Structure 1
Amino acid sequence: MANKTPKTDTKKKTKQKRKSSSKFSLTFGKLFFISAVLAGLWAYCMLKILTTPPDVPKLNLDEYWGPYPMNPKPDLSIRPYEIEFSDIMINDLKERLLHRRPFPPPLEEVGFTYGFNSHFLTRVLDYWQNKYNFKEREQFFNKFDHFVTNIQGLDVHYMHVKPQVSSDVEVIPLLMLHGWPGSVREFYEIIPKLTTLQAGRKFVFEIIAPSLPGFGFSQAPVRPGFGPAEMGIVISNLMKRIGHDKYYVQGGDIGHMMGCILATFFPKNVMGLHTNTPLLLFHPQENIFTVLGVLWPSLIVEPQLQSRMYPLSEHLMRLAEESGYLHIQATKPDTIGIALTDSPAGLAAYILEKFSTWTNDAYKKAGDGNLLAKFSLTHLLDNVLVYWSTNTITTSMRTYAETMNKRFFAMRLDEIPTDVPTWGIKFKHDLVFHPDSMLKLKFKNYLHSTIVEDGGHFAAMENPDILATDIFEAVDMFLQFHNHTKMPETREKVQETPNALETIYQFSVKDIYGKEVKLDKYKGHVLLIVNVASQCGLTDTNYQQLNELYEKYAKSRHLRILAFPCNQFGGQEPGSEKEIIEFAKEKNIKFDIFEKIEVNGEDTHPLWKFLKRTQSGTFGDFIKWNFSKFIVDKNGLPVERFGPNVNPIDLEPHLAKYW
């Protein structure tokens, strides 16, 4: 018996251990299950937070921002305004320039990398003091009509330029919004180009260009809380005062932000937004997209544009170098404002340094910042003088303090989608690049991005011709967009009995040589039908890859490619049939090319009406740009549609489904 006791104890202990282990396993399993459920709920909640847009904030559309006591009967008339550079101001400025202290010499061979080069600043200030013709520039500023009117207690200044055209030309109101450290001076070179009828156009623009409140010739608010949203409301009320209930908007920098706010708060008034700074400032998914792009850049941005965004470390370093001003102005604008208000030399250096490095980051290596490569000293100093003569550098910088704060962030305006059609132009050397995939998070009808292989932040002054042409193209597209999205029941039918057109084989087209071609000749072939242009930024890639697809699959898979030249997008197929034939020969084109046609509007070719009806895109039956692509199966049925930014070579797996 004595020998059995230890065995019994051992068995009991083993059973206890098993029970304990079983309880532990059960407890661990429960904890794991609960943790998994909680993690799933957390992930779901985060997804909802990230993807559920907030409501549009409700703000007071008549909030008073002027000084007290409030005038019970304010003058709400629109009054003519004349810009004046008084003798007192000019003499004071010249005295300050004359008696400026000597500047510390720059370090050797540093260019603008430490800031504005003091050697070159001496040249700029000498010119301003001795050669800048103040009275001549005063006349220049007054070449356009200026007005002022009181909005919500603030005297708001604006330029109003109406075109001189015949009655059969449509005049379209365009609100142009400047940024910082710019002013309405930015628009002087571009305004004549926008108010002059262009060849092939049926409209011109009536320009309304206000000085934003607190900038230049517009009065500043006297109390805190006047952020971008409140500024946008003032601008909206200005347009109503002028008499425009519906209008188009163009802007860059802060002007871009104002345009976004107007499109968010007043989508029924803004008929289209054109921006030369297309970006999202405060959208959480934008940050997620950016980080994902570090691992898979092709998911976020087109391969040919990846260098504008990645390597991310390089671009973040540039932003770190160029955003110090933002932190100062967002926290202590009045401190730096005192220095710049008291010193014209300091003001000129502070503003003009931005016109160097924000035009092209490489310019900072030059001793003169390459400022004169794109601008003249007279034009640059015009803009500086706007701030000096009106004493508004401090009030303009307060806009940053009213933007970079909890109150404005809480509105989450970039997360509120807008249906206003939007178009961006992306200059190569601008401070920030956001791909279309990001921009569409907010702009649900983001129609197009124009890619420019030069240029920087101050587009209207640096590249007025490019910007003006792009604005015309954008508004032309906006007009087509509105014509195609309103009253669908009134759209022109493909023909009286559209349902009878079941395949493309019922159509005939003319080839590039003028010969009638019945499309039933393509029975049994998989087709790729494309609208093409010879002068588009997408031309080289698309023609090369279309050729590649044809050579690879024409014999083995009976693929046929039908290319239709079209001049409706940016006037990028202006040539005659003979010139198009010559271009095709230069490109060694193997596939079939047809006569030049229209793919949108009243004169849309019947084939393309059918294609759009059977395979509608993001904007219904509206073709977005050159190189939209339709796949037609062996039975003549349009089966898939792809936008201009989809490269032909990427269609291989889609085409393979129909071999």
Structure 2
Amino acid sequence: MPRSNGDVEAFEAHASDADLDDLRARLAAARLPEAETVHGAAPGRRRWEQGVPLADLVDVVDYWRTGYDWRSFEERLNRIGQFRTTIDDLGIHFLHRRSPRADATPLILTHGWPGSIAEFTDVVDELADPEDADAPAFHVVVPSLPGFGYSDKPATTGWGTEKIAAAWVELMGRLGYAKFVAHGGDWGGVITTVLAGRFPAHVLGIHSTLAQAPPGLTTDGLTAVEREWAEETRDFWLHRVAYAKQQATRPQTIGYSLVDSPVGLLAWILDKFAEWSDTEDSPFERISRDRILDDVTLYWLTGTGASAARIYYESHNSLDPELRVDVPSAISMYPRDVEKCPRPWARERYRQIVRWGSPEAGGHFPSLEVPDHFVTDLREGLAVVLAARR
């Protein structure tokens, strides 16, 4: 088991006024490039084909400087309950909301990149203390990945998905949760898969919005829709992952810009919210500027642009092709996500899929895009998972 000091300490988020003033000053002094050469395009995704359009960025930067309220987000974090503990010599930050319900099940939610704990702050209360007394309730734990947010930045290599999964088992045990369910998307989905595959004695079951099949499977026997999913995912990995290649091979290089320039950080992250969300012209069709800026500002104030990028260096394409998941699994493929795995492929890794969800709307960030549906889908999926254990 990872080395630890065993202590769990309460934590409160509070940026200094000087740091917030510095952010506003940097935003006011930003030097921007000329407009993209497709800026005259009609509303639609083509406006974004060269990256974040200048007009959109200017609008968000102005709001970030003059209208956004970071203190409101800090208050939300502190109200949920924040803690830190040390696992394998690294400080890990997490949200922890215990349910008042005696029948609640421990649940760990793991975010990815360019997300953060900000993805889950609006759903924690409803998961822990649902208005519907018949809905399942959970003791909710939301850790910040190593190098993200208020978790420490690793000073050595080695903090990939396998080590993170082992740390999550230690974290949950330290909170008194020897057995638990887990959810994740993006890197959180990979870590959730590793959790379930490596630690079935602790993981009762999982819910994931990401399923990664073993390599080498053919499209024989897939439906037309499943073939389309496979082709879209292949296209994504062939043509739309420059960000991942950069962060997997040269995270330090892009890290200088992400830590030094709030506008550079914003553009790098906003580009993904735009491309990966279920929208036609702007990510703000589904996600408010405030919610995206909660996420971006957390990266900025903690100076984690470079350290967060390194998860790609540590773990890109590292999921063990032989890893299999035998615990009950609920998987949901949101229609506008960038990776959608055909169910027959998913069954090759996840051996007990007890629920397969195909929501009508939503993309890569469902807890922000369609939060009400996300909560319902997660609860229903985990209810089936837990029923399969009985």
TM bracket (short chain) = over 0.9
**1:475 CA drift (Å):** 2.0
- 1:244-289 C-alpha deviation (Å, 9 max, x unpaired): 1000001100111111111111101000110012233xx22xx332
The answer on 1:162 being equivalent to 2:82 is: no
Letter of the structure 2 residue corresponding to residue 306 of structure 1 = E
| Structure of greater relative contact order (alpha carbons < 8 Å, 6+ residues apart) | 2
Give runs of ≥4 in structure 1 deviating > 6 Å.
none
Decide whether aligned partners of structure 1 residues 451 and 236 sit closer, same or farther in structure 2, where only a CA change above 3 A counts: same
Percent identical among aligned pairs is: 30
- SS at structure 2 position matched to 1:452: coil
Letter of the structure 2 residue corresponding to residue 346 of structure 1 = G
Letter of the structure 2 residue corresponding to residue 378 of structure 1 = D
2:217 equivalent among 259, 278, 288: 288
Show structure 1 runs of 5+ residues with no match.
Answer: 1-60, 64-73, 484-659
Letter of the structure 2 residue corresponding to residue 94 of structure 1 = R
1:434 equivalent among 341, 344, 360: 341
C-alpha contact 2:106 2:138 (8 A) present in aligned 1: yes
The answer on 1:261 being equivalent to 2:194 is: yes
Letter of the structure 2 residue corresponding to residue 137 of structure 1 = F
**1:198 CA drift (Å):** 5.4
Show structure 2 runs of 5+ residues with no match.
Answer: none
Q: Residues 475-624 of structure 1: matches in 2 within 5 Å?
A: 475-483=382-390
2:31 corresponding residue in structure 1: 101
**1:202 CA drift (Å):** 6.1
C-alpha contact 1:264 1:413 (8 A) present in aligned 2: no
Larger Rg: 1
TM-score, length basis structure 1: 0.56
In 2, the alpha carbon distance for the partners of 1:125 and 1:350 equals: 13
1:399 equivalent among 288, 311, 314: 311
- SS at structure 2 position matched to 1:206: strand
C-alpha contact 1:144 1:159 (8 A) present in aligned 2: yes
1:144 corresponding residue in structure 2: 80
**1:140 CA drift (Å):** 2.6
The answer on 1:350 being equivalent to 2:268 is: yes
- SS at structure 2 position matched to 1:399: helix
Decide whether aligned partners of structure 1 residues 162 and 308 sit closer, same or farther in structure 2, where only a CA change above 3 A counts: farther
Q: Residues 65-464 of structure 1: matches in 2 within 5 Å?
A: 75-107=5-37, 108-109=40-41, 111-165=47-101, 169-197=102-130, 199=132, 201=134, 203-280=136-213, 283-284=214-215, 287-289=216-218, 293=219, 296=220, 299-301=221-223, 303=224, 305-306=225-226, 308-309=228-229, 312=231, 315-360=233-278, 363=280, 366=281, 370-404=282-316, 408=318, 413-464=320-371
After superposition, the CA RMSD in angstroms is 1.9
- 1:549-595 C-alpha deviation (Å, 9 max, x unpaired): xxxxxxxxxxxxxxxxxxxxxxxxxxxxxxxxxxxxxxxxxxxxxxx
- SS at structure 1 position matched to 2:137: strand
For these two proteins, the number of residue pairs brought into alignment is: 384
In 2, the alpha carbon distance for the partners of 1:127 and 1:454 equals: 28
1:62 corresponding residue in structure 2: 2
C-alpha contact 1:93 1:344 (8 A) present in aligned 2: yes
Letter of the structure 1 residue corresponding to residue 125 of structure 2 = P
In 2, the alpha carbon distance for the partners of 1:121 and 1:85 equals: 24
In 2, the alpha carbon distance for the partners of 1:207 and 1:255 equals: 15
Letter of the structure 2 residue corresponding to residue 426 of structure 1 = M
- 1:504-533 C-alpha deviation (Å, 9 max, x unpaired): xxxxxxxxxxxxxxxxxxxxxxxxxxxxxx
C-alpha contact 1:190 1:461 (8 A) present in aligned 2: no
C-alpha contact 2:76 2:121 (8 A) present in aligned 1: no
In 2, the alpha carbon distance for the partners of 1:225 and 1:206 equals: 29
TM-score, length basis structure 2: 0.93
**1:463 CA drift (Å):** 1.3
1:621 corresponding residue in structure 2: none
In 2, the alpha carbon distance for the partners of 1:432 and 1:404 equals: 15
Decide whether aligned partners of structure 1 residues 438 and 317 sit closer, same or farther in structure 2, where only a CA change above 3 A counts: closer
- 1:357-416 C-alpha deviation (Å, 9 max, x unpaired): 1013x63xx3xxx121001111110000111011111111111111137xx4xxx62422
C-alpha contact 2:355 2:384 (8 A) present in aligned 1: no
C-alpha contact 2:146 2:159 (8 A) present in aligned 1: no
**1:118 CA drift (Å):** 1.3
**1:226 CA drift (Å):** 2.0
C-alpha contact 2:77 2:95 (8 A) present in aligned 1: no
Letter of the structure 1 residue corresponding to residue 309 of structure 2 = M
